[in-house]
Structure formats: C-alpha cells, structure tokens
Amino acid sequence: MVALVTGATGFVGREVVKALLSRGVEVRCFVRTPGSERVLGSGLDVHYGDVRDPAALRAAFYDVDVVVHLVAIIRERGTLTLDGINHRGTENVVEAAAGVGVSHFIHQSALGAREDPAYAYLYSKWQGEQAVIRSGLPYTILRPSVIFGPGDEFVNLLASLAKAFPIVPIPGTGRNRFQPLAVDEMARCLAETTGREDLIGRVIELGGPEHLPMDDLVDTIARTCNVRRLKVHVPQRIMRLAVKAMAALTGRAPATQDQLRSMAIPNVAGLNTVEETFGFRPRPVAGNIDYVKRIGFRDALKSALTGSMPAHIGDG
C-alpha cells in the first residue's frame, strides 16, 4: 500500500508519517517547503508542491492507494487564505486523487465544521468536507477537537499568556468546553483508518478523555508552568475590540476575530469515541504537556502579543 500524506512535515503530519511507517505502509510525502522534510529523517519519497497547484499534485499522485490529507491553516497569512487552502486546496487534492482512483481518501477536518460563513475557518473546513463527500471517492473524515503536543498552537499560546502576564484574559465566561487530544494519538487514529473499510463513508468526531472548560484548561497549563495566575473573564465583544486594536497597532494579534468567535462554540465530541472506534484510551492533558516548561519569557511575551509560536516549537 502506498499512502500519500499532504502536509507531511507539519505538526500532525510528521506523527502520521511515523505511525504509517510503523505499520509497514509505504509513505509518499507531499510538502510545500523544500528542506522541511529533514524533520522526517532520510530515505522517504518526497514531492514538493502546493495544494493550490493542480499540476504539482498530479505529478505526485502516481501509484497512490490511500490519501491522508492534512494541509490546512487556521488563520490567514499573506497569500495563504482559508478559502484557498482549506476549501480550494482540498478540491485540488480530491481531483488529483480521483484521477488515479485511490481506494481511500482520509481527510482531517475540525470539530465544529459548519455551513455558516460567519465562522470563516469552520466554514472553510466544512467546504473542504463537502468536496470530499461529493467526489465519489471512498472517504473517511475525522473531526478532532483541539490537538495538543510539542508544536501545537493552542496550548503553547495559553502557556505563553500564563508565563508572560500575571493575569490571563479569558474570552467569555470561561465555561466553554474543549476536548484536547494528543497529537500522536490523533496520528494513530489517522494511520489506523487506512486499513479500515468499516470506516468508509463516515464522519467521525474525536477528542480526548475529558471535557475541559477553558478555565480548567488554563489552570492545568499554569500549574504545569509552575505559576499561579489570575483569570479575568472578558466579554466577547470587548475582547474582539481589544484584539482589533492590537492588530491595528502592531500588525498582528494573538488571535483573529474569527478565532475568538469560534471559541464560543463548544468543542467536544463523545468521551468514548476514540476508544470505541480505535480501541485505545487517549491521554488527558494534565501530566502530558511538560513541553510548555521550555518556553522562555521572551518567547512567551512575543507569542502572547502576536500569536506566533515560541521559537523552540517552530514548525517545519
């Protein structure tokens, strides 16, 4: 079996490549930046290209049996737009896969994907899902909650806020729930899906073993960082105004307007879905995020003010 992985050098992609190789699957990596494949080790079949370039995709899709499509962005930067990558880019990958008749198209979407343009990221992920569903290809769509691990953006950003400031602003009431899933366990789910005909045609929502309110998640992260922080709940409207002003002054803010709106939506699935579908119990957040301890004050301050990842977790 040959599995082509788009976004193979990204946060989830590098773990998926490892999980597939451990299962004896021949992996072909589709990556955007030449040289980034060094994070994967040597001896891999690597093709360079952009999901916005149909010709580059077609050149990589010969003799492919399975596709694991991971390329996505959560905020726009320069020419990288949500519609261009998450929607149109997925359409291009689907077209390339259909051209060679792959036997299984596995698509990583996002929990909360919805047909509502008011939520730009979640809408772009829903549009990508629709491209997969309409393709006629045998497909499985996995919708994870927040994914955590070395290189994540969400937990590292919260840790940066906790390390940089004595007060952590929380959008809304702090009661909105998340269900963080470890990155290697998400990769395991994706890799195991490649051999599962019983999962074809399904959209599966995934998360970790607990539903964590934002307040509890911030407390867990602060304890891991060995700091005590006061949490202040800021109404969504005021938080959006503050972020808008920060972006106007500095050119960048820790979160976008769209991300703040999306944070008001519960981000949880069934507590036992991973265990029932893939046969293992995922790990909780507490005790499994020691990587945030490596964030220094300077990196924390920069990340808290701009939303950029701390230097030690830069993604290839």
Tens digits of residue pLDDT in 142-186: 999 999 999 999 999 999 999 999 999 999 999 999 999 999 999
As a whole number of angstroms, the distance between CA 126 and CA 115 comes to 6
Over residues 262-267, the mean pLDDT reads: 91
Predicted TM-score of the model (pTM)? 0.94
As a whole number of angstroms, the distance between CA 44 and CA 27 comes to 7
Q: What ranges do the domains of the chain cover? A: 2-149+180-206, 154-177+209-265+283-313
Nearest Cα to 271, choosing from 187, 175, 178?
Answer: 178
Model pLDDT for residues 271-295, shown as the tens digit of each residue: 999 999 999 999 999 999 999 999 9
Least confidently predicted of 102-111, 201-210, 230-239, 248-257: 248-257
The single residue listed with the structure tokens 């202040």 is 232
Q: Which one is the CATH code of 2-149+180-206: 3.30.10.20, 3.30.530.20, 3.40.50.720, 1.20.1600.10?
A: 3.40.50.720
Contacts of 111 (CB under 8 A, 6+ apart): 143, 144, 145, 179, 205, 206, 207, 267, 268, 269
Residue 71: pLDDT over 50:
yes
Hey, how many other C-beta atoms are within 10 angstroms of the C-beta on 103? 15
Supply the pLDDT for residue 315: 34
As a whole number of angstroms, the distance between CA 264 and CA 11 comes to 25
For residues 93 and 51, is the Cβ–Cβ distance under 8 A?
yes
Banded model confidence at residue 251, pLDDT cuts 50, 70, 90: confident
